[in-house]
Structure 1
């Protein structure tokens, strides 16, 4: 695993498409029980080198009901985004994750993590990549989260930009978050 992580840290597969020199941001270990698969680092995360070190990360930790110490404990939680490097910004915000990372690295990483009990698929990119028969849109996928258990737990992105989605879909906070918290607590207690 150490060699693989070093290889990923030195990856330059998509360097010609990135606004900055590649700076892969992920965290993983052989003992991780939970994997968080989000989109790609934003500019704040790119600058700090710490995954989910932004308002989205604060909201995600609230959803999971865990503090930063637990969240960043790689012996428990792996953070493996769809794209490891900041992809840059387009007209409507951050660009999608680069398509090279997940097919190149995810399976190799997962092969080193036999203790994984739950994979959080955050946002449409990870859900489209991993779900065999995803629903027509993110709302339907998240609403049907139980269909993807026990392997996957599907979530929207916790970005402050999604506040309108959260207000329109109050069932998420009322029905989904309590189940998510219970699952996370049960896994971390083992």
Structure 2
């Protein structure tokens, strides 16, 4: 795809109103993509704060994710290294126990088209059950904890992660092996890729 065609695709996604009637705050697709990117952050959907600022992971979840990756904000938002494509590009609203799931229309409409334009991706961070379902399909385990526990089955091309939200503090405290075993290797791999490897 030419540079102009890629720009056109990005504009189409940015202008998308496919599920506008279901979005409490209206459409505001939040994502980052560049054909040079080596790392893909595949999350769920923007939260309210991200919707308001238009900056992905511009919240406490992003702070923890950057800590896990060993990156500062400038490095994390270097679009030539890090692409950020959630499963849903717009804030879906809030339910009883947190934000609602990503809108189901989004990924089928845009995901394959965008991923096809990211040929240099060497590491996919599949954050949460929706991203893991898309990127792992039948290779994922019975639940998120088991999928993350078997991270070596997918490494080094893909790493399943729990959501970095503060809501997951309990999960992290119940699974100390995650930050002890997985995070140091993630930081090493991310460091190599950010350096151009």
TM-score interval, smaller chain: over 0.9
Q: CA deviation at 1:25?
A: 0.3
- Return the match for 1:154 from 160, 167, 191: 160
State yes or no: 1:167 paired with 2:173.
yes
- Residue aligned with 1:176, SS: helix
Task: Show the counterpart of 1:38.
Answer: 43
Count the aligned residue pairs: 190
RMSD over aligned Cα, in angstroms? 0.8
Q: Could you list the runs of 5+ residues in structure 1 that have no partner in the other structure?
A: none
1:113 equivalent among 94, 118, 122:
118
User: Corresponding residue for 2:189?
Assistant: 183
How far 1:90 moved relative to its partner? 1.0
Q: Report the alpha carbon displacement of residue 149 of structure 1 after superposing the two structures with TM.
A: 2.1
Alignment partners' CA distance in 2, 1:116 and 1:92: 33
1:151 offset after TM fit, Å? 2.3
Q: 1:128 Cα deviation (Å)?
A: 1.2
What aligned pairs does 1:41-190 form with structure 2 within 5 A after superposition?
A: 41-132=46-137, 133-190=139-196
Instruction: Name the SS of the counterpart of 1:81 in structure 2.
Output: coil
| Separation in 1, partners of 2:26, 2:170 | 34
Deviation at 1:169, TM superposition (A): 0.3
Normalised to the residue count of structure 1, the TM-score between the two structures is: 0.98
TM-score (norm 2): 0.94
Cα distance, 1:152 vs structure 2: 1.2
Structure 2 portions without partners, runs of 5+: 1-5
Q: Which runs of 4+ in 1 moved over 4 A?
A: none
Match of 2:8 in 1: 3
CA distance in 2, matches of 1:34, 1:100: 24
Instruction: Deviation per CA, 1:127-163: give whole Å up to 9, x if none.
Output: 0122132101111111111101232111000000100
